[in-house]
Amino acid sequence: MRRLAELQSGFDAALRGGPLPAGLTARDPAEAERRFNVYRNNVVVSLTEALAMRFPVVQRLVGKAFFRQMARVYVELDRPKTPVLTQWGDGFPAFLAGFPPLLDYPYMADVARIEYQRGVAFHAADHEPATPDLFANADPADLVLALHPSVCVLALAHAAVSIWASNQPGALPGAIVHGPETALIFRDRFFNVPVKAIAAGDAAMIAALSDGRPLLEAAQLAQAADPAHDAGRLLAEFMAAGLILNAEISTCRP
């Protein structure tokens, strides 16, 4: 196992521009280097393309050429740790926040957080949604609801939900929104992954339900955050989308 680990480590270092892996030879040493450069380039190109597929709005905002060059920098800093590329890219928002050419565009990191979380939501495990019978004869003071693991609330420092929405295919120009937004992301019964800007009441109720608080307490916390909050509306929307489950499942806590 140690020899395999050393081989893998040496191969990875070579892909990053280090010396060729031990044992890799050719009649002409220069030819070996040229041939291995093909693999180096293929790795960078494939990872750049994977990043562009995961963060299409970021690419649209900065432009394809800029994104490709930026992605090459990120690829060298954060290589995938598993063969499952859908699990890669969680460090991209933080990278954008500290990337010098984008310091004047701080909302970019929040847009990337939305895009990464959409991928997480899409690949969340399947679970059987609850039926309305769950609420029959139930005391809201004791009823604890389990939410689908795709449900996630992101507190964003900028109007990233509006920016993301305005950069979707076919989106019409909308009013310019300023200030922070809170995003609700989930996967519905039909495998759509919408992104919605929600108010303080919805955010408080979802957070309480995610923490295992009883329904009545969650509704009270929502009303404390927003006296006009309608808990029934939120429950109806979650039931329609298949986001309330029969069994308790851990949910997103970013």
Q: What is the dihedral of CA 8, 11, 17, 18, to 10 degrees?
A: 90
Q: For the chain, which domains are there?
A: 1-87 (no CATH), 118-254 (3.90.930)
Percent of the chain with pLDDT over 90: 67
Exposure string for 79-97, b = 16+ CB within 10 A, e = fewer: eeeeeebeebbeebbebbb
Over residues 213-234, the pLDDT tens digits come to 999 999 999 999 999 999 999 9
Q: What is the pLDDT of residue 250?
A: 41
Q: What is the dihedral of CA 59, 64, 65, 69, to 10 degrees?
A: 40
Q: What is the pLDDT of residue 138?
A: 85
- What does the pLDDT average to over 104-110? 97
Q: What is the pLDDT of residue 11?
A: 58
Over residues 33-49, the pLDDT tens digits come to 666 666 666 778 899 99
- 8 versus 210: the higher-pLDDT residue is 210
Q: How far apart are CA 138 and CA 198, in angstroms?
A: 27
Least Cα distance to 184 among 159, 217, 210, 151 occurs for: 151
Over residues 133-145, the pLDDT tens digits come to 988 888 999 999 9
Model confidence, pTM: 0.86
Over residues 162-194, the pLDDT tens digits come to 999 999 998 887 777 889 999 999 999 999 999
Q: What is the pLDDT of residue 21?
A: 63
Query: Is the pLDDT at 237 greater than 70, yes or no?
Result: yes
- Average pLDDT over the chain reads 88
Over residues 2-21, the pLDDT tens digits come to 565 665 665 566 566 556 66
Q: How far apart are CA 209 and CA 201, in angstroms?
A: 12
- What does the pLDDT average to over 224-245? 97
- 203 versus 18: the higher-pLDDT residue is 203
- 16 versus 73: the higher-pLDDT residue is 73
